[in-house]
Amino acid sequence: MKFQKSHSLQEIADLLQCEFIGDKDFQVLGMNEIHVVEPGDIVFVDHPKYYDKALQSAATIVLINKEVECPEGKALLISDDPFRDFNVLTRHFKPFQFANVAIAPSAEIGEGTVIQPNTFVGNHVKIGKNCLIHSNVSIYDHTVIGDNVIIHAGTILGADAFYYKKRPEGFDQLISGGRVVIEDNVGIGALCTIDKGVTGDTTIGAGTKLDNQVHVGHDTVIGKKCLIASQTGIAGCVVIEDEVTMWGQVGTTSGITIGTKAVVMGQTGVTKSVEGGKSYFGTPIEESREKLKQLANIKKIPEILSKLK
């Protein structure tokens, strides 16, 4: 998430009421999660296990809960609770905007687009040309939709990321300030849910088709011309490359990559990254040919035991 203008390190420290290490005029351009950070971004880290990863990332400002040696060319914000203060920044730079009409005045809707009754279109949404948005669709603020997109009834674009920190008193949510981006010629079935990024974009690539009741987690990037069948659940921060096929009731873990033109058969649990151009099945996931051989061999066990007796 980029800020509308550049801010100084001193300004950000004053906002958070925290100490800092570095030039007070150090340039701060935005804030992002570690997998999408760029120079000028703030990244937060609150566990020693991930200190080095954050400090050596592309981010040039690290919001951290311990005073450590600052890498050259970077700056530190020292906070007693980086998770809390990351939320402070999101609330400040991307505050919630109330809407009291079905289509927000700031929404931009392209020529030839049809929006059926009872659909909500939020603040600063952009919808391209010749789209068809069926009834009871909810399109949250800042969502971007390309041309020739079809979205069926009951789908929700832009709900919050499922991202929590466990506290003694319960779970504390990491506030989502990102977007959903739907590219041209995408088809989205009924009752799908696509969560926005925490600070970046959840993206559905051009020409991809989602069946009914598909869930896409925060910051996931789905490539072009993919086919994803019903009741598939895709976790956050997943990369699905171009022309991947995922059949019904597939589930994935977070942070993995599914390679170009992979085929994932129904009810598979994608527990790790997999190469493109192959077919996969089972939980934990394996190449389908090998998995089916294993299942065939299992069926022979009673016969083998009988012979041994």
* 134 catalytic per annotation: no
pTM above 0.85, yes or no: yes
Q: What is the pLDDT of residue 255?
A: 96
In terms of Cα–Cα distance, which of 124, 133, 130 is closest to 152? 133
State whether CATH 1.10.10.2160 applies to domain 2-93.
no
In terms of Cα–Cα distance, which of 67, 62, 63, 68 is closest to 83? 63
Q: Which secondary-structure segment (H or E) carries 127?
A: strand 126-127
In terms of Cα–Cα distance, which of 224, 242, 230, 250 is closest to 189? 230
pLDDT at 300 over 90: no
Task: Kindly report, residue by residue over 189-215, the tens digit of the pLDDT.
Answer: 999 999 999 999 999 999 999 999 999
pLDDT confidence bin for 153, thresholds 50/70/90: very high
**Beta-carbon count within 10 A of 277 CB:** 10
pLDDT confidence bin for 289, thresholds 50/70/90: confident
Angle between helices 288-299 and 301-308 (to 10 degrees): 40
Domain 108-292 is in which class?
A: mainly beta
State the Cα–Cα distance between residues 87 and 42, nearest whole angstrom.
12
Domains in the chain: boundaries: 2-93, 108-292
State the Cα–Cα distance between residues 174 and 161, nearest whole angstrom.
8
Task: Kindly report, residue by residue over 50-109, the tens digit of the pLDDT.
Answer: 999 999 999 999 999 999 999 999 999 999 999 999 999 999 999 999 999 999 999 999
In the chain, the amino acid numbered 29 is: L
State the Cα–Cα distance between residues 26 and 4, nearest whole angstrom.
17
